[in-house]
Structure 1
């Protein structure tokens, strides 16, 4: 029961924060953490209750705990590891392509090691070494669980339908190798065009500068593609100086408010990106003090794990206070557990 109460507290805190600002990283993670932890707690309580009913039910619970759960766990790890092979086959070898396999291997090692250490205790190894290992593994598992929370929050954010009439649509750029847009960027632009056809008076802000390895600016390539799709030139605004998502939002904001004629009202703004990038884009929108909602284009399944892991790492880097706080929570837990009673 205490775990249920703790989970509900996290849910309530998350809801209160999200009602005020649905682009809050703390609010979203708090709600997702509470919701997933409550689901897991109720599942375990339910299995224990079923096990008390009869011997046959107890056998079923044992099969679920000792057979189904491990198989599901191994299946998830195998998916992440195999996904790296698919990613490298389709996208080429790179450090980021290996992120999926690293996560799968990490889980395969960390989860069994954590439960083995708990069952073994500190009797066979020095207490200080046991504490360090528990701290490292606990931190590892906590951030792995928070990755699941991030996935849930990201999905939840995108499930809220956008019905407002748009005045501007920001089309966010991504890496290019020529003047032609690659498939990943094309999906973003097609999503922007989809919303443009729903709002034919809207203007599309093409946003993205030129990287050191790019022949032209991303904005130039985006505009070229939009023109080929019969989007009128007068409906396209260029922002070709940004090099990060935050600059995308900041510089696009300046261009939009320079163009906006009705100064008595605030324009309604959308930004178009890939589905895995919508949440982080929304958080940068908030940081840039721009009121805008994100729409996400579908992404190939093989690309999603690596992309989502990369987004999660970027968010942990951006919200350093959150990352440090979680590490301190793990450290405090280990220290309190080690105190003599």
Structure 2
């Protein structure tokens, strides 16, 4: 009961933060963590009651209590591992394609090893090695749990519809190989067009510079595509200096501020792929740009690796938080190793 009360309190705090600022990573992760924990506790309670029910036999009880969660765990892990094969077949054998398999294998090894070490103790292992393993495994599993919270928050953020009138629609660029936009970038542009057609007085800001291996700037190729789709030239604003998502937001804000001639603050929307929306929203907030994001659909096989890459980028972005987790895990292990 106490744990449930704490979860509800944390859920309320996270929800209150999100009501004030839906792009708050702290509020989103807190809300996601407490919500997932409540669901887990509810499922455990339901399964325990079912297992203790006289309507089923002892064998069924054992299967329910000790078999269901391991099966779910194994199914998720195997799905991540085998997704790499699909990813490699369709996108090529890159490091990014291997990310989902790396996560799956990591969890498959880390979870059983952690419980084994906790139950069996250090045994023949030197105490220093044992404590180092415990530290690494706790940090590892904590980061995996945080990834699950990140997925939930990312999904939740995109489920909130954008119904307001929009003055500017920023389309974030991605890599190009010619003056024609590739499928990934086209999906972002088409999502932007979807909202442009609902807001005929809006302007589209195409945002993306020219990389060393790109023949033209991403903004140039994006504008060319929008013109082919019937968007008037005067409705397209070009930002062609950015090379990162944060620069996308900073430089697009400069373009909008210079262009906006009315009183008040313009209503801004940005379009990208669904796996990239949350990071885009966080960077928009850092750039001081009040903008909400919408995501274009992405092939399902591409999502695991893309989301893992986004999550790693967020850990790098929030270095202080990542460092805090490391220190927290280290302090826990040191405190546990000290004699009482």
Q: Does 1:86 align with 2:86?
A: yes
Answer whether contact 2:52 2:61 (CA < 8 A) is retained.
no
After superposition, the Cα gap between the structure-2 partners of 1:54 and 1:325, relative to the gap in structure 1 and judged at 3 Å, is farther
CA shift for structure 1 position 202: 0.6
1:287-326 correspondence to structure 2 within 5 Å: 287-326=286-325
Secondary structure class of the residue paired with 1:199: coil
Answer whether contact 1:50 1:58 (CA < 8 A) is retained.
no
CA shift for structure 1 position 30: 0.9
CA shift for structure 1 position 127: 2.8
1:187-266 correspondence to structure 2 within 5 Å: 187-262=187-262, 264-266=263-265
Tell me which moved more, 42-51 or 142-151. 42-51
Tell me which moved more, 17-26 or 306-315. 17-26
Aligned residue in 2 for 1:75: 75
After superposition, the Cα gap between the structure-2 partners of 1:201 and 1:183, relative to the gap in structure 1 and judged at 3 Å, is same
Aligned residue in 2 for 1:104: 104
Secondary structure class of the residue paired with 1:272: strand
CA shift for structure 1 position 124: 4.0
Aligned residue in 2 for 1:169: 169
Please provide the CA RMSD for this pair: 1.6
Q: TM-score, normalised by structure 1?
A: 0.95
Aligned residue in 2 for 1:134: 134
> Number of residue pairs matched?
340
Aligned residue in 2 for 1:284: 283
Deviation per residue, 1:121-176 (Å, 9 max, x gap): 23443333222111111111111111110000001111111111111100110011
Unaligned runs of 5+ in 2: none
After superposition, the Cα gap between the structure-2 partners of 1:59 and 1:332, relative to the gap in structure 1 and judged at 3 Å, is farther
Deviation per residue, 1:167-224 (Å, 9 max, x gap): 1100110011111111111100000001000011111000000001111100001001
* Structure 1 residue runs of 4 or more that deviate by more than 6 Å after TM superposition: none
The CA distance in 1 between the partners of 2:123 and 2:8, in whole Å, is: 37
Answer whether contact 1:110 1:137 (CA < 8 A) is retained.
yes
